[in-house]
Amino acid sequence: MSFRIVVLLSLFSTCVARPLPAQNVALAVREGSPLQVILTEKVRYKENATVKGRVVESVYAFDREVVPPGTGVLGRITGFRNASKWRRALAISNGDFTPMREPQIVFDTLVFEDGRRIPIQTSVGPGTDTMVRFESNERARKKGRVAAAAATARTEIHARKQAVIDAVKTPGRMARVKNLLWGFAPYHPQSLAPGSRFKATLVSPLDFGTTTLGEFQLNSIGAQPPADSIASARLITALDSRTTPHGTPVEAILSRPIFSTENRLTFPEGTRLQGTVVQARPARRWHRNGQLAFFFTGIQLPSSITANAPAVQDIDGRLASVYVASKEMGNVQLDEEGGVAITESKSRFVAPAIALLMASRAGDDGHQDPGELAPGQTSIYRNNYMGRIVGGGLGFGLVGGILGRVSRPLGAGLGFYAAAQSIYINVVGRGKEVSLPVGTPMEIRFGDAR
């Protein structure tokens, strides 16, 4: 009898799951992680000029924030890259003889609020400045606990980021007017304005030590994300409506950890999302813009984590928001299926109409109305200097305005050249492509994967 009890106890002990051993995890910001930087001071185009900025978005390592928003960033201009011959020729055709140069910047130091300085190595490119969000009426009305928690977290994140942006003194109205007037000059000084955005991609990792995960923490990792929860991620697959075909695999990586409603870690920073492009339509003539749609179907924990979860879990992840460069892509909209499209306002027809009006005015010196003639006069020739100056200025800047003042045919010709260019750009030419480069920040909303 006692032997049977011993056997049953031994079988029961083998069936009970052994506790997971504690695991040490490195707190490192991996290579390729982007720092979203906003400039805090004006920087003139000069080699070795100091560049000062602040980090806009939090940077995470595994389960915690290691670089808070507002952290200072120092760098310098290392050189200049000349624009393409086509862009240079286009600028000259518009009367701008200023050398077209793009400053090459390197950020090399992080300055924390407590005075700590950490050296960094980065590759710097243009940043994103506009967040486009999709929010259907049905989701807006939903008041579930998960949706409420996601909304609260999003509000807190936005408030911290906005505080950094608001602290930067951007050019005022008079400064913008001054820059606009300088734009008509054939040569003008060049500088980077406060508020300019850059993406500083780390080319070497940052080490912030290690942390130890216990059994309680490990058991919660890998749980299915609840429906309507929001994940912050960044693309690691470049997408473009012109070059990315339908069916292309898409990968993204979590830039923030995901926690459950009980504040338990479920997916750390560095978790990968896997998806597919389901629509890709390139831009076409007559200003028809490109379209792109994709969604995520799988989520995979970092290989360094041991958890009670499958290698790849099924999810239903749709694009909830994305950051874009509004200067490059214009007005972007999202749909419920994860589609990204560029919309155009009918106001784009205003510029060609005004250009045509100014061009016709530049060539209209005309004669005085018969009712205004003195007795015995047949006509009085009247010079339209202002119309000629404006028409020439539209076509060739300040130089065009001077030429238009001197010669009526030149003023009218340059005005109609500007009108033709405006018509091509706004009406006839190819539309804009949806382009999401590597590192594009986005938010993914999880649905029910079953």
Between 133 and 293, the higher pLDDT residue:
293
DSSP 334: E
Between 390 and 262, the higher pLDDT residue:
262
Phi-psi category of 222—alpha, beta or left, where left has phi over 0 and alpha has psi -120 to 50?
Answer: left
pLDDT computed for residue 395 by the predictor: 56
Examine the pLDDT at 5 and tell me if it is beyond 90: no
Task: Express each pLDDT in 206-259 by its tens digit.
Answer: 999 888 877 777 777 888 887 778 899 999 999 999 999 999 999 999 999 998
Instruction: Give the pTM.
Output: 0.74
Report the chain's C-alpha Rg in angstroms: 29
Among residues 46, 48, 51, the alpha carbon closest in space to that of 124 is found at: 51
CB atoms within 10 A of CB 184: 17
Range with lowest mean pLDDT among 18-32, 290-304, 379-393: 379-393
**C-alpha distance from residue 56 to each of 71, 150, 195, 204 (Å):** 8, 20, 11, 20
Examine the pLDDT at 203 and tell me if it is beyond 60: yes
Task: Express each pLDDT in 353-402 by its tens digit.
Answer: 776 776 666 666 554 455 555 555 554 445 555 565 566 556 555 555 65
Residue 35 confidence class, pLDDT cut points 50, 70, 90:
very high
Amino acid letter, 306: T
What domains appear along the chain, each with residue ranges and CATH number? 28-211 (2.40.128.260), 219-330+435-450 (2.40.128), 348-428 (no CATH)
pLDDT computed for residue 212 by the predictor: 81
Residue 345 confidence class, pLDDT cut points 50, 70, 90:
confident
pLDDT computed for residue 402 by the predictor: 58
| Percent residues over pLDDT 70 in the chain | 68
**C-alpha distance from residue 132 to each of 156, 251, 294, 335, 443 (Å):** 18, 20, 16, 11, 10
pLDDT computed for residue 16 by the predictor: 43
Q: What's the whole-number mean pLDDT along residues 431-443? A: 89
Q: What is the mean pLDDT of the chain?
A: 78
pLDDT computed for residue 336 by the predictor: 75
pLDDT computed for residue 52 by the predictor: 95
Report how far residue 85's alpha carbon sits from residue 100's, in angstroms, rounded to the nearest whole number: 10
Among residues 235, 248, 241, the alpha carbon closest in space to that of 201 is found at: 235
